[in-house]
């Protein structure tokens, strides 16, 4: 639930910075039949546009993070994208429309979170938005889930969001009255899920943290919102499919719960870009389910 490709592991931290100096056409490696592409989703102007906005996006090597970067760039944003896998991150960078985009490859250890924000601001200028797409999950029965599993998941899904947000909130790192923060949680964080106790706990904590931050910083014009996807067709979904003996078993257990079918990364990215835009200026502390009717 809210499963999206992870860009994090425990390997030694490394960083790479690359700017995209030329305008590129936004293209998917694999376009999804029946799902509109960014140019079809939101006009490149008006209240839904992100012209000139500097947006930091974690987990951008694949899945929802990549789709969010592509759509935000198509709307005029300058994207600072982060992920552990430098090769895949460069692939994302090469698909972004517009100029001045930056890729910073690193693990999201506590010390790297602060460095990531400082590098982003040094290269792009004061930030206008932050989207936390980085995350990992483990599907295990509770009796087999160790405390170390919980800590591992929390470190990426929650702790890195905490550390990055704390650094961004320093006045030297964001434009005053012009900061929007979006966390990618999950419907599992609201309703729970068998075999996903640690993952659901981390995503539930992310929702609570977002709500508390929205209350604390509303007076400064800083908005915090959460998007809770259902099951989305990303690399991480393969981990779930492997738990079922046949494709039909997976369809019966998971797909049929979504009234509109499984989601695509673009479906979630559209909601994220809306929350980043001035069109959502009266939204803070919201929890937006983007789940194809899963929770109906």
Say whether 199 is catalytic.
yes
What CA–CA distance (Å, rounded) separates 18 from 76? 19
Of the candidates 203, 42, 192, the one whose C-alpha atom is nearest the C-alpha of residue 132 is 203
Q: Give phi and psi for 133, each to the nearest 5.
A: -105, -15
For the chain, state the CA radius of gyration.
18
Q: Map residue 26 onto helix, strand or coil.
A: coil
Instruction: Estimate the crossing angle of helix 147-154 against helix 197-217, to 10 degrees.
Output: 40
Query: For residue 87, what is the enclosing H or E element?
Result: helix 86-95
Distance from C-alpha of 241 to C-alpha of 100, rounded to nearest angstrom: 38
Torsion angle, CA of 228/67/198/207, rounded to 10 degrees? Answer: -40
Picking from 74, 69, 42, 103, the residue whose alpha carbon sits closest to that of residue 265 is 69
CA atoms within 13 Å, Cβ hemisphere of 187: 19
Q: Which residue has the tokens 């719960």?
A: 257
- The single residue of 161, 191, 199, 217 carrying the catalytic annotation is 199
With b for 16 or more beta-carbon neighbours within 10 A and e for fewer, the 98-134 pattern comes to bebbbbbbbbbbeebbeebbebbbebbebbbbbbbbb
Q: Which residues are catalytic?
A: 199
């Amino acid at each position: 639930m809210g499963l999206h490709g992870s860009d994090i592991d425990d390997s030694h931290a490394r960083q790479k910075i690359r700017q995209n100096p030329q305008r590129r056409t936004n293209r998917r490696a694999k376009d999804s039949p029946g799902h509109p592409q960014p140019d079809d989703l939101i006009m490149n102007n008006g209240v839904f546009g992100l012209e000139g906005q500097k947006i930091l996006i974690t987990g951008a090597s694949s899945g929802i993070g990549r789709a969010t970067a592509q759509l935000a760039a198509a709307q005029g944003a300058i994207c600072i994208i982060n992920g552990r896998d430098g090769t895949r991150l460069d692939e994302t960078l090469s698909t972004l429309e517009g100029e001045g985009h930056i890729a910073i490859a690193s693990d999201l250890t506590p010390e790297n979170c602060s460095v990531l924000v400082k590098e982003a601001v040094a290269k792009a200028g004061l930030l206008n938005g932050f989207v936390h797409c980085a995350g990992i999950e483990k599907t295990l029965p509770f009796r087999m889930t160790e405390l170390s599993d919980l800590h591992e998941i929390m470190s990426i899904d929650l702790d890195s969001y905490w550390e990055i947000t704390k650094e961004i909130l320093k006045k030297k790192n964001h434009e005053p009255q012009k900061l929007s923060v979006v966390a990618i949680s999950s419907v599992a964080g609201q309703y729970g899920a068998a075999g996903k106790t640690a993952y659901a706990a981390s995503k539930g904590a992310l929702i609570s943290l977002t709500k508390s931050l929205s209350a604390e910083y509303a007076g400064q014009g800083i908005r915090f919102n959460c998007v809770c996807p259902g099951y989305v067709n990303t690399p991480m979904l393969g981990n779930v499919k492997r738990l079922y003996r046949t494709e039909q078993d997976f369809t019966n257990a998971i797909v049929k719960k979504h009234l509109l079918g499984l989601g695509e990364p673009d479906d979630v990215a559209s909601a994220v870009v809306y929350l980043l835009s001035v069109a959502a200026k009266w939204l803070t502390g919201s929890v937006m389910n983007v789940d194809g009717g899963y929770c109906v």
